[in-house]
Amino acid sequence: MSLGDYLAKNYLTADSKLEKKSRKRKRKDAPQSGLIIADDDALGWAAKPADGHEDDDPINVSATSAEFRKTKKNNWQTIGTPAPSSADQAAADAIIASAAAETSARDAADEEAPTVDDTGRKMESGAHAGLQTADQVTAQLKRKQAEERKRFLADGAEHSGQGKETIYRDASGRIINVAMKRAEARKKAEEEAAKAAAEIEAQKGDVQRAERERKKEALKDAKYMPVARYEDDREMNEEMKDRERWNDPAAQFLVKKRVGRSVTGKPLYTGAFTPNRYGIRPGHRWDGVDRGNGFEKEYFAARNRRRDLKELDYAWQMDE
C-alpha cells in the first residue's frame, strides 16, 4: 500500500454537506467541496464554525406553522391556579396588608422595647432587683404576664378548673356538702312559711274559719246542683227559712225554733244585750254587765242623728 493510500484511508474524510441556510447566505457563500484533514490530536480545540452556532445551542423557531394559523380554537393552557376575581383579590390583599401591619408593629415594638438582662436576680413580680429604668421594669412585667398567659393556655381547662364544681369550705376548712345545705335551707324556709301561716290563722276568729269551711262545702255541693233552681227546691227553701231577719213578722209562727247556739256550736246568751256594729251576741256565761267604754252607744247615736237630720231636711223641702 502506497503512502498516499494510507493517508487517504486513515486521515482523510469526505466533506459532509452543510445544512440549508437562508437564500442570502446560500447566494453569498460558495459551496465547499473536497477533502478536509481532521486532526485527531486536537482534543476539542478546533475553531468554531464561521456562523457562530454550535450543536448544543437551542434552536429558535420564529416561523409559525400553517395549521397553527388556520385553527380557530384557543390553544393556550392555564398553568397553576386561575386568577382570582376582584372581590377575592381585594380580600386577599386586605389580609396580607393586615398581616404585614401586625408584623411591622411587632417588630417596631421589639425594637423600641428596652434591652433586658435576664442574668440577674428576679423578684416575685418578674422584675429584676436593683437600679433600672421604668421602661425596663414595664418590659419585664409584660414579659412575665405573657409567659403566664401562654402557660395558662397550654395547660387547658383541666388545670384551670373550668367546668368543675365549686368546693365550699367552712371556717375550719372542712368541705361543705352543698346539696345537704340546700336541702336544710329549703326545709327551714318551709317551716318558717308554715309557722307564719299558722300565726295568721290564729289571728282569725272561729266565725271566720267556720265561714270559710262553709264556703268550701258549698263549692263542693255546687258541682252537683242544677243550673236553674226553682221554687220547689228544698235546700234553697231550708236555707231561706234558717236565715234570721230582725223585722220578719212571721218568724214567731215558725214551728222550728233556732237553738241558741253560735256558729261554733257553743250556747249563746238568751237575755237582752246592747247591740254592736258586728251583730255578735254575748256568750251564755255573760253576767249582763257592759264593760265597754261606751263607743258602741255613741256610734249608734251619731248614726241615728245623721239619719234623722237627713229625713227632716227632706221633709222641710217638701213642705215649701
- Residue 57 has a pLDDT of 56
Who's near 32: CB < 8 A, 6+ residues apart? 15, 18
Predicted pLDDT of residue 18: 46
Walk along the chain (320 residues) and give the pLDDT tens digit of each residue. Answer: 677 788 777 776 544 444 444 555 555 545 555 555 555 554 555 555 555 555 555 555 544 555 656 666 666 666 755 555 677 778 888 888 888 888 887 777 666 655 656 666 777 777 777 777 888 888 888 888 888 888 877 876 666 667 777 888 888 989 888 889 899 999 999 999 999 999 988 888 888 888 888 899 988 888 888 888 888 888 888 888 878 777 788 777 766 555 567 777 788 888 888 888 887 888 888 888 888 898 988 999 999 999 999 999 999 988 76
Phi/psi of residue 211, each to 5°?
-65, -40
> Looking at the DSSP assignment, which residues form a beta bridge with residue 175?
169
Q: What is the pLDDT of residue 184?
A: 93
Residue 123 Rama label (left phi>0; alpha psi -120 to 50; beta): beta
Q: Are strands 168-169 and 12-14 parallel, antiparallel or unpaired?
A: unpaired
Closest CA to 10 of 30, 39, 33: 39
- Residue 150: predicted pLDDT: 85
Rounded Cα gap, residues 239 and 168, in angstroms: 65
pTM of the model: 0.30
- Is the Cβ–Cβ distance between 90 and 97 less than 8 Å? no
Cell 246592747 locates to 274
Task: Write down the pLDDT at residue 4.
Answer: 77
Which pLDDT belongs to residue 245? 79
The whole-number pLDDT of residue 268 equals 81
C-alpha cell at 125: 413580680
* Residue 305: HSE in the Cβ half-sphere, 13 Å Cα cutoff: 6
Under DSSP, the state recorded for 168 is E
What CA–CA distances, in Å, run from 319 to 122, 185, 306, 310, 316?
113, 76, 20, 15, 5
pLDDT value for 119 = 66
